[in-house]
Structure 1
Amino acid sequence: MTSIAILTAFSMVLYLFKVPLPFFPIFLTLDVSDVPALVGAIMMGPVVGVLIQFFKNGLEYLSHGSYVGLPINQIANFFSGALIVGLIGIFYQYQKKLNWISFVVSISVFLIAMFALNYYFILPTIMKLLGLNMEQYLSAFKSSNQLVKDFESAVLLIIVPFNLIKIIMVYAIGLPFAFKLQRILQKRSMAI
């Protein structure tokens, strides 16, 4: 419980530092708050990683609320983060190692699931809560990518590449850190 609380606290702090990316709408920001949950998933199992994501987003909503009233952005962040850490955590838990198949499958499942969630639930809910019609909502996507013609192309050409960058960044930062921390803790436990 203490490890989960510490990793959740780190995750909350990292969640405050969001960076907008060029060539993407301003409301899509990257952060590394999924890294502590990834560390938890590798070291203690995928359920712990998902729990850290749950606590982070619950506390985020209680402390800062949501720009659309309901916690839709926290729900989206929870699903995204839970998929990122849960999928790779499952592979690691059962194989005790990660290989290229682990990464290809987890990234593919993540991108497909996030496409469906954004297309059918997250983006339509945000649009409805903000009181925007489809053309108003698409204008933010079209200003970032001239190839966006409709809602499907907005999700495919903006959201999917953004999510690909996000998962690669979290894996590139989080996995080396998790494995190094795991080795340090194993050496300490052997020394005791």
Structure 2
Amino acid sequence: MLTAVINNLVFVAEFLGIVFATFVVAFIFEKIANDRSGYIGPVITTQKIAMIGIFGAISTILMMFEFPLPFAPTFYKLDFSELPVMIVTFAFGPVAGVLTEFVKILLKVMFKSTSTAFVGELANFCVGASLILPSSIIYIFNKTRKGALIGSIAGTITMTVFGSVFNAVYLLPKFAQLFGMDLSSIIGMGSTVNPAVSNIQTFALMIVAPMNLLKGTLVSILTIVLYKKFSPVLKNGNAFREVNMAK
């Protein structure tokens, strides 16, 4: 029992370390973009904090609505919680995006706890960050519709590749360890829905990759379609930042 508690505490510490590292990467790129544009104000403003809270709450609500996928075991479901995160990321930059992603996870744990010993929450944060970071980093250096499109494609590809590798190398083995399961049991769940799944590599390739590709594509399309509808509200009081996805 004590070993399980220690393992879980170590995992939570690793989780927070990953969140911090992601924030640092986002901060560095946003600072470079601000320096190039001549903006000398703070990276985090009162308006951004408000929007991070609002969109983080919306993302948490969307996270509760999950849709099963015919090609994946029941513990993998599709949700659209990254959509509000992407919208606020394009409006306010990668730092706001990472913080919104974290607020989403924090609120979810507060209101619904965790059923996966935080493994599912870490997966959601890391895979979500692998979508929003490349998308927003490309966009802050090219704030046009074309830049948003290129960024979204790059983010979707990154999420697909990273999510697959991260699941195979770290998340699924960690899930099995924390729950005292054999990894072959998880692989067996995958082979039940897809007979081509025979090991952890084929599990990631046949199940995780298609799921992340589908999610990234849908979220990216919806973000580009919906952003213009939200931009007047988002840009209100944000005169220092010129966001133009209509070019």
Q: By the TM > 0.5 criterion, same fold?
A: yes
In the alignment, which residue of structure 1 is the partner of 2:98?
50
Distance in 2, matches of 1:184 and 1:2, equals 12
The residue that corresponds to 1:134 in the other structure is 183
SS of the residue corresponding to residue 153 of structure 1 reads helix
Larger Rg: 2
Question: Is the 8 Å Cα contact of residues 141 and 154 (structure 1) preserved in structure 2?
Answer: yes
Identity of aligned residues (%): 26
Gaps of 5+ in 1: none
Q: Partners in 2 of 1:144 and 1:31 — Cα distance?
A: 20
Corresponding residue for 2:225? Answer: 176
TM-score (norm 2): 0.70
**Deviation (angstroms), 1:48:** 0.6
| Residue 157 (structure 2) pairs with residue 94 (structure 1) | no
Q: Within 1, Cα distance between the matches of 2:170 and 2:194?
A: 22
TM-score w.r.t. the length of structure 1 is: 0.89
Is 2:211 the partner of 1:162?
yes
- Check whether the contact 2:135–2:150 (CA below 8 A) recurs between aligned residues: no
2:81 corresponds, among 33, 38, 43, to 33
Q: For the residues of structure 2 that align with 1:178 and 1:104, how far apart are their CA atoms?
A: 16
Q: Select between 125-134 and 98-107 the one with higher mean Cα deviation.
A: 98-107
Give 1:102 shift.
3.3
Deviation at 1:98, TM superposition (A): 4.5
2:167 corresponding residue in structure 1: 118
Q: Paired residue for 1:149, among 182, 198, 222?
A: 198
SS in 2 for 1:95: coil
Structure 2: 5+ residue runs without aligned partners?
Answer: 1-48, 240-247
Determine helix, strand or coil for the equivalent of 2:141: helix
- Deviates most, 122-131 or 34-43: 122-131
Which amino acid letter does the alignment assign opposite residue 203 of structure 2?
A
Q: 1:189 to 1:108 in 2, by over 3 A?
A: closer
Structure 1, residues 32-60: CA drift from partner, whole Å, max 9, x if none?
11111101101111111111001111221
> How many matched pairs?
189
RMSD: 2.1
